[in-house]
Structure 1
Amino acid sequence: MNTSLFELFKIGIGPSSSHTVGPMRAALRFVESLDHRGHLADIEHVIVDLYGSLALTGHGHGTDRAILLGLTGEAPDTVNPEVIDAEIEAIRSTGTLYLLDRDPIPFTEAEHLLFHRNQMYPDPEKPTHPNGMRFSAFDSQGYLLAQNVFYSIGGGFILSAEEFEAQQHAKTTTTRSVPYPFRSAAELLALAAKHNLAIADLLLANEVALLSDHSIRRPSPVEGAPIATPQDQIKASILSIWHTMQSCTARGLTTEGILPGGLNVRRRAPRLARRLETEGSKDPLAPMDWVTVYAMAVNEENAAGGRVVTAPTNGAAGVIPAIGHYYMRFIEKKSDGISEEKIAEEGIIRYFLTAAAIGILYKENASISGAEVGCQGEVGVACSMAAGGLAAALGGTNDQVEHAAEIAMEHNLGMTCDPIGGLVQIPCIERNGMGAVKAINATRMAMHETLGHKLSLDQVIATMYQTGLDMQSRYKETSLAGLALNIIEC
């Protein structure tokens, strides 16, 4: 196990984790490395080359804006979404970019930010990951001072070329020390059974062990949260993530208007929510409608470039919070002498810990990158995480958690990523609603089953990954086929 819950659930901005959050982090890492080596003041200009999916759908996904922000020193989890437009306009209108917000260089996008739409990888002779980018820094004499290649591998995760190659040769090597390391769902279930632990408790122990790892950025606890033990610290940070998701949902439920990008997609969540508030009591399926609206509200915020939580990607950011809201609002909490609020809080913590354990399995054994395996790696993985997490929140057994996660992915296999216009809008927004509803159904099927099941989560994860590798690249976040192409005829 090399991945933390707080790396799967990252606070950032929309519209894309792989095309916005990842490139911003890569640009920031590059310019910070220049500063660390004392080169920053010597830089006369920087050239950024984008390849593959980043080049083909980067404009629609905000990659250009992300690169500019990262070079100026902005980070996805701290940048203020309300000032982004002004910062970008200042760079474009003046033709000047301030590296780390202090060293000015000339920057014209047509010359210094290049989209290589006919080249899939930085090195054509060496296929790697389809989200590749190269950063090059030159002095006033045109001498190349530094050059780095990065890959945005999904969910906002980035790897340098050297890190990417090392990972390919040592994919199963555990480098982080945790009490309960696991590489498969079978190992996870066996460890939990051996130590008589719920999956959530097992992952909590691992997260406590990772508290000393300062490379993991954990959100600050919500003000007033009691922190008496390391376990309390982890739980408080999880609740901070949930608080951010709730805030995002609330914004999405009240913000009207047209989403940016040129498709003229109208925000629908506020109107749908108002209808449910007035008519929902008459409809026995209203809770499922609310789940759809919650998911759409989050992804409309994401499409607008707002503050979201990557879960495990931005394109799939609505599924996990939608199921969280479903659990909090529509599931009866049995008190047993404990306050309903406390029961709900513990349930939502189990939900996130269990969902993270499932997400780690996909991240480390397959992919959460739409550009690598299609939307089955984004909404499909989020659906699987949410289904398993909900089973845990409802008091399900570890076997029921695994079964729910397996069912959810089994029925997302082969799902393509074909965003119209390279925008995270159609079909992405509605698809999050569909994924959230499917997660509830998967959980209910698993919780009602008592005689076991044929397929394992590990088998389905392996199938998803192989299916993604077999999928034609034009169906993997390139906007060269599927809805992205046929919408022209509609």
Structure 2
Amino acid sequence: MLSVLDLFRIGIGPSSSHTVGPIRIAGRFLAELQQAGVMPVVERIDVELQGSLALTGVGHATPKAVVLGLLGLDPETLDPEDADNRVSALEASGQLTLPGGRQIAFVPSTGIRFAYDVIPVLHPNGIRLQAFDAEGTKIADSTWYSTGGGFIASQRQLERPVTADIVPAGPQVPHPFYSAAELLAICEAKGVSIDTLILANENAMRSAGETGLALDRIAGVMMACIDRGLSRTGILPGGLKVRRRAPEIWQKLQSGPPSNEREQLFDWLNVYAMAVNEENAAGGQVVTAPTNGAAGIIPAVIRHYCWDAEDRTARVRKFLLTAGGVGLLYKQRASISGAEMGCQGEVGVACSMAAAGLAAVWGGTPQQVANAAEIAMEHNLGLTCDPVGGLVQIPCIERNAIGSVKAANAARLALHSLEQTKVSLDQVIETMRQTGIDMSSKYKETSQGGLAVNVVEC
């Protein structure tokens, strides 16, 4: 089993697959060079971005991400401002300091190549890294894939033959499950809630105290991101001249809240989600939930429904554990990569996870929680990923706002019924997977179709 902490990763914007993943891949490449004992003779490093990483890499800050990884930075601990300064210094000097202190020439504009013509077979987000010695002899050559949500895999891993549908990963846990049906059956047999079951699995991977503190830290980073997004004004980077709107909406809410509950619900959820995704678009610190492009939905719902409660810690932990459990199903049975599934695999999955978490906080049974997750995804099926200009701004920022409202509504609908919905959670996950496979690549994070070609950049 994967851990829910694998889904909720702290990193930087604007993309988990195009920014966080490449940082980790470049760092892993350096680690391999060290392990192979060839680092002392490395004189040149070449990087080739393939597939979606090439087609939308500029707008997703992928070249910068590769540089950050080569500089030895970790997406979870780096400071965004310091990272920008270090990238600028490297671009000015043309010198990359390798582990151990030795410097080699590296100019990002020539050392990182966009292979627009290469569409990888194993996964759309490919990166090939090569190292050469002083004579130009190739001493290392590896291809990696950024598979969504900050997850990465080497070509060797993905080409490994498997004899079953499930590839075992991670430590043994007391309650392994590989479908929603299995998850619900275990909950019924044990007489426990989904979050209790997930917590037992998590505590098999680390101590209970460490799990709790990790969940609290994730929630804290989410809320800090909202706070920054509510206060920072200006134009987002990238050339589309998209103005930050969350601070203005926030000021209106503070000065004169809407008069009726429905408008108030929409506005609060909207402003919190937009605050996160405007921060993400600016390259700020966010939590993949389960991706950066969909990072605003879960924090928005937590902020509005859990953060001011007296039992905040218990509510938030229940929410994250339940949402994470549902997210694991999507990760294990389909994908959370926009380059594979379109935006249904990002905003759709985040909406489904948030609906499940909220239904649990509201006292829903395991079946009602699964119903909430199913309802949310059912009405995100077919959602395309067609970012204008390759930037995680249009339609991504507003899409998170809409997704947060959908999540709350799905949770409410699920609590009105006791039986399983006609469409099960497993069935909707499989439908999402099949839809993603059938979807044209133009609508899967390549900026080759939809809004990306019908909206003129200016």
Q: What TM-score does the superposition give when structure 2 sets the normalisation length?
A: 0.97
Matches within 5 A, 1:419-438: 419-438=387-406
Q: Following TM superposition, by how much is the alpha carbon of 1:444 offset from its aligned partner in structure 2, in angstroms?
A: 0.3
Q: State the identity as a percent.
A: 53
Q: Following TM superposition, by how much is the alpha carbon of 1:281 offset from its aligned partner in structure 2, in angstroms?
A: 4.7
Which position in structure 1 is the counterpart of 2:134?
140
Read off the aligned partner of 1:431 and give its amino acid letter: R
Contact kept in structure 2, 1:365 and 1:462, CA below 8 Å: yes
Does residue 147 of structure 2 align to residue 172 of structure 1? no
Matches within 5 A, 1:167-316: 170-175=164-169, 176-211=171-206, 230-284=207-261, 285-316=263-294
Which position in structure 2 is the counterpart of 1:226?
none
3-state DSSP of counterpart to 2:234: coil
Q: 1:191-242 CA distances to partner (integer Å, 9 max, x unpaired)? A: 111111110000000001011xxxxxxxxxxxxxxxxxx3233122101110
Give ranges in structure 1 of 5+ residues lacking alignment.
Answer: 122-126, 212-229, 331-339
Q: Distance in 2 between matches of 1:115 and 1:37?
A: 27
Pick the aligned partner of 1:403 from 371, 374, 383. Answer: 371
Judged with a 3 Å threshold, the aligned counterparts in structure 2 of structure 1 residues 257 and 64 are, in CA distance, closer, same or farther, namely same
Q: Distance in 2 between matches of 1:416 and 1:243?
A: 31
Does residue 149 of structure 2 align to residue 155 of structure 1? yes
Q: Distance in 1 between matches of 2:386 and 2:286?
A: 22
Read off the aligned partner of 2:123 and give its amino acid letter: H
Matches within 5 A, 1:52-67: 52-67=51-66
Q: Following TM superposition, by how much is the alpha carbon of 1:95 offset from its aligned partner in structure 2, in angstroms?
A: 1.3
Matches within 5 A, 1:342-357: 343-357=311-325
Does residue 101 of structure 2 align to residue 105 of structure 1? no
Contact kept in structure 2, 1:73 and 1:101, CA below 8 Å: no
3-state DSSP of counterpart to 1:488: coil
Q: Following TM superposition, by how much is the alpha carbon of 1:39 offset from its aligned partner in structure 2, in angstroms?
A: 1.5
Which position in structure 1 is the counterpart of 2:432?
464
Q: Distance in 2 between matches of 1:489 and 1:261?
A: 11
Q: Distance in 2 between matches of 1:101 and 1:410?
A: 52
Read off the aligned partner of 1:450 and give its amino acid letter: L
3-state DSSP of counterpart to 1:136: strand
3-state DSSP of counterpart to 1:207: helix
Contact kept in structure 2, 1:200 and 1:354, CA below 8 Å: yes
3-state DSSP of counterpart to 1:449: coil
Q: Following TM superposition, by how much is the alpha carbon of 1:100 offset from its aligned partner in structure 2, in angstroms?
A: 3.4
Q: 1:90-147 CA distances to partner (integer Å, 9 max, x unpaired)? A: 11111111123722111123431110112212xxxxx110001101000001111111
3-state DSSP of counterpart to 2:385: coil
Which position in structure 2 is the counterpart of 1:220?
none
Structure 1 stretches (4+) deviating beyond 4 angstroms? 167-171
Q: Distance in 1 between matches of 2:217 and 2:307?
A: 19
Read off the aligned partner of 2:145 and give its amino acid letter: Y
Read off the aligned partner of 1:5 and give its amino acid letter: V
Which position in structure 2 is the counterpart of 1:79?
78
Tell me the C-alpha RMSD between the 2 structures. 1.5
Does residue 345 of structure 2 align to residue 383 of structure 1? no
Q: Distance in 1 between matches of 2:343 and 2:351?
A: 11
Read off the aligned partner of 2:214 and give its amino acid letter: S
3-state DSSP of counterpart to 1:76: coil
Does residue 400 of structure 2 align to residue 416 of structure 1? no
Q: Distance in 1 between matches of 2:289 and 2:100?
A: 30
Q: Distance in 1 between matches of 2:167 and 2:59?
A: 36
More displaced 10-residue stretch of structure 1: 384-393 or 162-171? 162-171
Contact kept in structure 1, 2:15 and 2:293, CA below 8 Å: yes
Q: Distance in 2 between matches of 1:404 and 1:464?
A: 16
Read off the aligned partner of 1:202 and give its amino acid letter: L
Which position in structure 1 is the counterpart of 2:68?
69
Q: What TM-score does the superposition give when structure 1 sets the normalisation length?
A: 0.91
Q: Distance in 2 between matches of 1:274 and 1:161?
A: 49
Q: Distance in 1 between matches of 2:307 and 2:204?
A: 33
Contact kept in structure 1, 2:95 and 2:105, CA below 8 Å: yes
Which position in structure 2 is the counterpart of 1:368?
336
Which position in structure 2 is the counterpart of 1:115?
114
Q: 1:414-463 CA distances to partner (integer Å, 9 max, x unpaired)? A: 00000000000000000000000000000000001234420100000000
Q: 1:35-93 CA distances to partner (integer Å, 9 max, x unpaired)? A: 22221121110001111000000010010000011011011011110112211111111
Give ranges in structure 2 of 5+ residues lacking alignment.
Answer: none
Contact kept in structure 2, 1:97 and 1:104, CA below 8 Å: yes
Q: Distance in 1 between matches of 2:92 and 2:54?
A: 23
Q: Distance in 2 between matches of 1:120 and 1:169?
A: 26
Which position in structure 2 is the counterpart of 1:221?
none
Q: Distance in 2 between matches of 1:489 and 1:52?
A: 22
3-state DSSP of counterpart to 1:277: helix
Contact kept in structure 2, 1:52 and 1:132, CA below 8 Å: yes
Contact kept in structure 2, 1:347 and 1:394, CA below 8 Å: no
Which position in structure 1 is the counterpart of 2:412?
444
